[in-house]
Amino acid sequence: MKLLAGKKAVILGIANERSIAYSIAKLFKDEGAELGLTYVNEALGKRVIPLSEELGAKFVIPMDVTVDGDYENLKKVVEKEFGHVDILIHSLAFANGEDLKKPFIETSREGFAQAMDISAYSLMKLCNTLKDSFSEEASVLAMTYHGSVKIVKNYNLMGVAKAALECITRYLSIDLGERKVRINCISAGPIRTLAASGIPGFRDILKDVEERSPLKRNVTQDDVANTAVYLASRLSSGVTGQVIYVDSGHSQVAL
Ligand code: NAP
Ligand code: 1JT
């Protein structure tokens, strides 16, 4: 029996074939899930719509998490196409390049608010929007990075936003727990994706994981997808409010 047979999964955050969310969608489909996908804007839609066809998605709709009306639309489409939601994947983040390039101390108020809104608050608003659509035993998953709890050079503002995302996950676990719905984060090691491209020093971080992590290799999108299947399935039935690391053990090594 497939682990996600007949489950209805809404997945946000596919930009292209390298996106973590794309590997999750692929593996979910292999495990029997039905997919509903979102993309941010028309430019990305050109890439995501063909991918959604290849994945046999039930629906693919535009959704910008800064736009209130897009949440209402998501709810409407979910009710019409799926009826209910068994799995919600939040795999998106944003901080503007200007703020990421500047010394952290110079972060603008607007840049701070935008990074928090897109990368952290969106998880709360999505859960609130879909709360009456979640099935009993539904599972919500968000992607995070270790720069939330330790200083990682250049991660800066995103580290603050990820700290909020992880904390939001803990508090949401109470509200969702009342409905038997679980919520967890996956903390992924560095992976070369669109979000990671052009980040100064990113190559050095990849090299450090290869040299110093217990597994002596970088993780892949598929490593993350494997844990996503576990967290989305009954195999993780007693797990909620947690941050599960998929990072070759790198975060456990001190020196
Ligand atoms: P990705 O392929 O670039 O995916 C990020 C997605 O977020 C993109 O589709 C992006 O669209 C979307 N997004 C940005 N602003 C949005 C908005 N306003 N509304 C809706 N979606 C929006 O990169 P990824 O590496 O797979 O990232 C997925 C998640 O994994 C993120 O939460 C990231 O922080 C996390 N993560 C990544 C790594 C890594 O090393 N790659 C490590 C740990 C955790 P645009 O391209 O249009 O901005
Ligand atoms: C964003 C970016 C979110 C890069 C991200 C991210 N989550 C993980 N990464 C990859 C990464 C980035 C840095 C890093 C280690 C991993 C780019 C801007 C949009 C949001 O440390 C150097 C900076």
Instruction: Give me the residue spans of the domains in the chain.
Output: 8-247
Ligand 2, atom 13: closest residue by C-alpha? 155
Please give the pLDDT value at position 181.
98
Which is catalytic among the residues 145, 171, 230, 245?
Answer: 145
Residue 196, ligand 1, Cβ within 6 A: yes
Question: Contact 92/22 with Cβ under 8 angstroms?
Answer: no
State pTM to two decimals: 0.98
Question: Contact 162/144 with Cβ under 8 angstroms?
Answer: yes
| Lookup: tokens for 170 | 């803990």
Any idea which ligand is nearest the CA of 191? 1
Please give the pLDDT value at position 109.
97
Give the number of the atom of ligand 2 that is nearest the alpha carbon of residue 200: 22
Please give the pLDDT value at position 29.
98
Residue 218, ligand 1, Cβ within 6 A: no
Which is catalytic among the residues 155, 171, 230, 245?
Answer: 155
Backbone angles phi, psi at 13, to 5 degrees: 115, 20
CA distance 146 to 158: 10
Report helix, strand or coil for 27. Answer: helix
CA distance 191 to 175: 32
Q: Ligand 1, residues 17, 40, 118, 244: which to mutate, most atoms within 8 A of Cβ?
A: 40
CA distance 34 to 32: 7
Please identify which residue in the block is written with the tokens 């992924």.
188
Q: Which candidate, 60, 7, 59, places its Cα nearest to that of 29?
A: 7
Instruction: Out of 2.160.20.60, 2.60.120.650, 3.60.20.10, 3.40.50.720, select the CATH number for domain 8-247.
Output: 3.40.50.720
| Lookup: tokens for 154 | 């250049």
155 is catalytic: yes
Question: Contact 1/230 with Cβ under 8 angstroms?
Answer: no
Residue 94, ligand 1, Cβ within 6 A: yes
Residue 121, ligand 1, Cβ within 6 A: no
CA distance 73 to 60: 12
CA distance 64 to 71: 9
Going from the Cα of 133 to the center of ligand 2, the distance in angstroms, rounded, reads 31
The pairing of beta strand 85-90 with beta strand 59-62: unpaired
Q: Which candidate, 127, 235, 129, places its Cα nearest to that of 183?
A: 127
CA distance 254 to 220: 23
171 is catalytic: no
| Lookup: tokens for 193 | 């994706």
Residue 217 is given by DSSP the state S
| Lookup: tokens for 22 | 């794309």
Q: Ligand 1, residues 18, 26, 44, 94: which to mutate, most atoms within 8 A of Cβ?
A: 94
> Would you write out the chain's pLDDT as a tens digit for each of its 255 residues?
899 999 999 999 999 999 999 999 999 999 999 999 999 988 877 899 999 999 999 999 999 999 999 999 999 999 999 999 999 999 999 999 988 888 999 999 999 999 999 999 999 999 999 999 999 989 999 999 999 999 999 999 999 999 999 999 999 999 999 999 999 999 999 999 999 987 888 999 999 999 999 999 999 999 999 999 999 999 999 999 999 999 999 999 999
Sheet holding 8-12: strands in order across?
Answer: 59-62, 34-39, 8-12, 85-90, 134-144, 182-188, 243-246
